[in-house]
Amino acid sequence: MLGQRTTLRRAVQVSPRFEAAAILTAQRWGGEHQIQLWTRPEHYGYHDIALLDWALASLRSYPRMPVALSLNTDETPAIDWLQSAGFTVQRTLLTMRLRVDGHGDA
């Protein structure tokens, strides 16, 4: 296989919109594997777990390297599942937003 990085994408679509999606960036040499996960809140604990299973199964054909994963902190079922699989929580980034609508000082 050429290149050292492969990006795989998977989505779950049951209705006209996506219910969940994952992006897996797998490394062949150096660095760490990365998984980005997004799930609609009404599907927490269902589609997110299936996508995590897919991502981790896909990594079996790649060298054993650390896996970094990002997901919404509200996805408690996925976080619990990941911790039971051996992942540890690392809080490294806080995203904050402010709506600027012309009212007030902001």
Q: List CB contacts of 8: < 8 A, sequence separation 6 or more.
A: 23, 24, 25, 26, 55, 58
Angle subtended by helix axes 47-58 and 76-84, to nearest 10: 40
DSSP-assigned letter for residue 25: E
Cβ-in-10-Å burial (0-12, 13-18, 19+) of 47 comes to: buried
pLDDT of residue 90: 84
pTM, two decimals, is 0.78
For the chain, the domains span 5-84
Q: What is the pLDDT of residue 105?
A: 55
- pLDDT bracket for residue 1 (50, 70, 90): very low
Q: What backbone phi and psi angles, to 5 degrees, belong to 51?
A: -70, -35
- What are the pLDDT digits (tens) for 43-79? 999 999 999 999 999 999 888 889 999 888 889 999 9
